[in-house]
Structure 1
Amino acid sequence: MNKQRLSFHADGTFKIVQFTDIHLKDGIEPERDARTLALMERILIIEQPDLIVFSGDLIYSEETVDPKATFRRVIEIAVQAGTPFAVIYGNHDSEKGVTREELQAILAEYELCMAEAGPGEIHGTGNYVLPLFNHADDRESGALYFVDSGEYAPAAIGGYAWIHSDQVAWYLQESAKNRERNGGVLPALAFMHIPIPEYQEVWQSGSVAGRKGEMVCCSKVNSGWFAAMLEAGDVMAAFAGHDHDNDYIGVLHGITLAYGRVTGHNTYGALQRGARVIQLTEGERRFETWIRQEDGSVV
């Protein structure tokens, strides 16, 4: 499979659309699924992104007759738009009838897919990093980290899984390689499905914009992913999904923590459906972000 190359435009921009919690069910309330897919198509026409990030819960496998076919229906949205795409898994993608490995095998069929299975010896499927290249030459200008935040914690602990220490070590290794290869720290973004405990902290700090309509459904265990990003110094912002009634964004110790916006109609949540849009600027440690809603308006 020939991977696409992700490069900044001549005007120095690179745009990402983050779809999260699509929850396609196929067969249960099909009109809701149809509305979800139409919304995604419309946002891609308006925003014309350079990369689509599906940040978990593309399908609700537990209530899906054919999870593989349903998964393909989501991916086809990116294929029809002709846009490269990256995927990370949520806690509902492989709960029933399909494994993450089987979903990853489906992704491998698509030329526009940037997602990788990642190292086999660490936790999760889909821990990988994508370089962003300079518009004019072969130099790297940025990086995008994707990490599998897992599904559920062991019953004795309860709640959701955490990003394991071997994944944190992998990130630090990749970050160090990037720094060495490029003679310095490149600005980077990170994507995960389940938010980390620091999302609660950033909300309490008060320096946030957006809405919090439910508790932060993070893991009960803090494995040090945020501290690692802080120490490595490359990640300027991390983006999660999972909590359908939260869409806030805030800065904690210099790192932006942000939620996407729930995209799918076949699931709970009072927020208008939509997607988060992120625009990077080449050679600069800054980005702009907004939410494009189903009715076309911008938050």
Structure 2
Amino acid sequence: MIRQLTYFLACALLANPVFASLRFRPDGSFKIVQFADLHYAEGETSGCKNMLPAWAAAGPCSDLNTTQFMGEVLDLEKPDVVAMTGDNCIGSSNNTKSQRAWRVPMEERNVPWFSMLGNHDAQGTLDRAGLIRVDMESPLSLTQPGPKGLYGEGNYAHQVFSSDGTKPLFNLFAMDSGAGADSPSGYDWIHPDQVAWFKQENERLGTSIPAILFFHIPVEEYDTAWPFGGACASDECVGVHKEGVSMQGKNVGLFEIASQAGNVKMINIGHDHDNDYCALYKGMQLCYGGGTGYHAYGSVGWPRRSRVLELKEDGTISSFKRLDRFGNYSKIDEEVIWSPTLASAAQHATSK
């Protein structure tokens, strides 16, 4: 089995070498589209939630509207890779079918993706390991199971290389924040062995290289940076905070380790569909993707959305959200997440 899997992956990489290493384009740009909380289930028989009457009058709405929106975003943005940040599917009668259905927009456009699991993905007919296996069957999938013995499924990293392929310029981490648990929040958490793995892997890949973390359930610091119903308590908040932070069940120090490393510029999550903000806290941007799926809950009148990240070879990260047709495909909340120029200016101001 291992030999067959190795052969399959080797053939996939040889067939399309770009997937062997992510690279900046010749113009020095690299784009990531994040899709959060699709909640894909039974396809055309899974209805949409929290739709305005005028939206419902536009015609039948189902999971197929979700994949249609994904395709529209991909056509508009033409990303280099897609980040699927969990709850990609939800309990269905055939999770293998659901898992294969949500990736069709990327497969039709030859766009690679990497994914992680949320709290709902394994509520159907596949466990977490099975979901990862089905994901990885596509040559376009950059998803990995992660080290054996480590808590969860899908803890891994990818590097984005310079346009000539000679130098890693960004580290992208995917982590499994688990599902439900006997905890105050009712959710699992990123465990100490995962934090230790992240610290070791980040140091191995190089803490001089800017890094971005992706997982599903927010860490406690999201709530600290911007308490629900309160004022932004961080250095800067951009976006909408429409619901409380449903945080991980325990805080075992991932944020502090990432902050101490100095190279982690951004954390991207899903989970709370009605939040789409970024909050700058202790030098790190804590960002939501915003809900993408129509079968997932959302406030009535809240257009579905995706987050787009634009990277530059000098380390600059910019971001915005792209709304669906009910939001006129608007591009909103454009911001610079981090840049060496801004960091240098802040350091200079602090030293005065």
Matched, 1:51 2:67: no
The letter of the residue matching 1:160 is Y
- Taking the aligned partners of 1:188 and 1:267, their CA distance within structure 2 comes to 29
How far did residue 108 of structure 1 move?
2.2
Q: Which of 192, 211, 225 pairs up with 2:215?
A: 192
Matched, 1:88 2:88: no
**Residue 313 (structure 2) aligns with:** 282
How far did residue 93 of structure 1 move?
0.3
* TM-score with structure 1 setting the length: 0.94
**Residue 98 (structure 2) aligns with:** 70
- Taking the aligned partners of 2:75 and 2:213, their CA distance within structure 1 comes to 25
CA change 1:210–1:242 in 2 (3 A) is same
Matched, 1:7 2:48: no
- Taking the aligned partners of 1:191 and 1:56, their CA distance within structure 2 comes to 9
**Residue 159 (structure 1) aligns with:** 186
Give CA deviations for 1:258-296 in whole Å, capped at 9, x if unaligned: 000210001211221021000111132x21100000021
- Taking the aligned partners of 2:148 and 2:112, their CA distance within structure 1 comes to 24
| Matched-pair contact (CA < 8 Å) for 2:32–2:81 | yes
Matched, 1:170 2:197: yes
Paired residues, number:
291
**Residue 264 (structure 1) aligns with:** 293
The letter of the residue matching 2:24 is F
| Matched-pair contact (CA < 8 Å) for 2:70–2:105 | yes
Bigger radius of gyration? 2
Q: Where is the helix percentage greater, Structure 1 or Structure 2?
A: 2
Stretches of structure 1 that go unaligned for 5 or more consecutive residues are: none
Give CA deviations for 1:117-148 in whole Å, capped at 9, x if unaligned: 00111111000000111112321111100000
Name the stretch that deviates more: 114-123 or 146-155.
146-155
How far did residue 28 of structure 1 move?
2.6
- Taking the aligned partners of 2:72 and 2:40, their CA distance within structure 1 comes to 17
Q: Which of 108, 111, 119 pairs up with 2:136?
A: 108
- Taking the aligned partners of 1:158 and 1:10, their CA distance within structure 2 comes to 46
Give CA deviations for 1:135-193 in whole Å, capped at 9, x if unaligned: 123211111000000002226x45111110000000001011112xxxx6101111010
How far did residue 96 of structure 1 move?
3.0
The letter of the residue matching 1:10 is P
How far did residue 221 of structure 1 move?
1.4
**Residue 24 (structure 1) aligns with:** 40
**Residue 56 (structure 2) aligns with:** none
- Taking the aligned partners of 1:38 and 1:96, their CA distance within structure 2 comes to 23
Give CA deviations for 1:174-233 in whole Å, capped at 9, x if unaligned: 011112xxxx61011110100110001111415201111110000241110100101122
- Taking the aligned partners of 2:122 and 2:181, their CA distance within structure 1 comes to 15
**Residue 6 (structure 2) aligns with:** none
Does 1 or 2 have the higher relative contact order (CA < 8 Å, sep 6+)?
1
- Taking the aligned partners of 2:46 and 2:194, their CA distance within structure 1 comes to 36
Give CA deviations for 1:75-115 in whole Å, capped at 9, x if unaligned: 12211110010000000000232111111111221111111
- Taking the aligned partners of 2:318 and 2:170, their CA distance within structure 1 comes to 15
* TM-score with structure 2 setting the length: 0.80
Report the aligned-residue RMSD: 1.4
Matches within 5 A, 1:122-133: 122-133=150-161
The letter of the residue matching 1:210 is G
| Matched-pair contact (CA < 8 Å) for 1:153–1:219 | no
Name the stretch that deviates more: 29-38 or 165-174.
29-38
How far did residue 11 of structure 1 move?
1.5
Matched, 1:38 2:68: yes
**Residue 273 (structure 1) aligns with:** 304
| Matched-pair contact (CA < 8 Å) for 2:185–2:246 | no
Give identity over the alignment, percent.
Answer: 33
**Residue 245 (structure 1) aligns with:** 274
Secondary structure at the aligned position of 1:244 is classed as: coil
Matched, 1:298 2:341: no
The letter of the residue matching 1:76 is V
- Taking the aligned partners of 2:308 and 2:165, their CA distance within structure 1 comes to 26
Secondary structure at the aligned position of 1:205 is classed as: coil
Secondary structure at the aligned position of 1:159 is classed as: coil
